[in-house]
Amino acid sequence: MGSERERRELLITVIAGLLDGIRHVAVGASSPIPAAGAMLLRARNERDGKPPVRISILGSARHNFFTNGGVELFDCAAQGRVDAFFLGGGQIDGAGNINLVGTGNYPQADVRWPGSFGSAYLYHLVPRVILFREEHSPRVLVPKVDFVSAAAITPEVKRRGGPHALLTNLALFDFDRGRGGFRLRSLHSGVTPDDIRNQTGFDYASPATVPTTAAPDAATIDLIRGRVLDELSESYPEFARSTMELA
């Protein structure tokens, strides 16, 4: 898939595409690549005369209009004023459920993770939730999560939220709400369909011919290496610095 910088730039570009058309995207405090994707979308929209994009990065002074962190984020989501958000998980299963608690039989977990925070709430309310996890392996993408921190589908409860897509370091999946599972959309450069089957613990739908994820063009790379990394440096200085230094 090329160099580490090319990998990061590809993921940033894909995220910007997944966010196309949204007006307000919220990003967690430890999500530099999603934040960069949102900034790329904002820069493109300003360049092309499209509607402005509001970005709320929790913990940022420059890119956040909240004054009370998560509390205001939850209120904003409940009011229908957050269009997109990102969730990950120590485990993600084929139904789109995520696990942020740990592995094993809860509460005697073998491994403990930070916890669910507001994942179930936001998964329920935000219309375009993008699942993002760089590691693509059978230990992360499992048939069934050990603990459901946030359920992808709740047919017994009316909801406007749920998974929109799953992006990893190997591939991009769409989520099919009708069948309640993922469909492979594209493979990143150098990745084969067999690679995805071998590294994915759950079943998924796939077209007969899987396209390659489109690489960023020269104008997009210029935006990322210029304006986006400059803006990103306020919230994620180490990530921005290391990306600029990568060959």
Q: What pLDDT does residue 2 have?
A: 75
Q: Which of 160, 162, 161, 204 is nearest to 185 (CA)?
A: 204
pTM (2 d.p.): 0.95
Q: What angle do CA 13, 16, 18 make, to 5 degrees?
A: 110
Percent of the chain residues past pLDDT 70, beyond the cut: 98
In terms of Cβ atoms closer than 10 Å to its own Cβ (0-12, 13-18, 19+), residue 6 is middle
At position 87, the amino acid (one-letter code) is: L
Number of domains in the chain: 1
Q: What pLDDT does residue 1 have?
A: 57
- Pairing verdict, β 98-99 and 102-105: unpaired
Q: What pLDDT does residue 91 have?
A: 98
* Mean of the per-residue pLDDT values of the chain: 94
On the question of pLDDT at 142 being above 90, the answer is: yes
List the CATH number of the domain containing 204.
3.40.1080.10
On the question of pLDDT at 247 being above 70, the answer is: no
Give per-residue pLDDT as tens, 167-200.
999 999 999 998 999 999 999 999 999 999 999 9
| 185's tokens | 């959309």
Average confidence (pLDDT) over 2-13: 94
Give per-residue pLDDT as tens, 37-79.
999 999 999 999 999 999 999 878 888 777 776 788 899 999 9
Percent of the chain residues past pLDDT 90, beyond the cut: 82
Q: What is the domain extent for residue 24?
A: 4-245
**Do the beta carbons of residue 165 and residue 131 sit within 8 Å?**
yes
Give per-residue pLDDT as tens, 122-135.
999 999 999 999 99
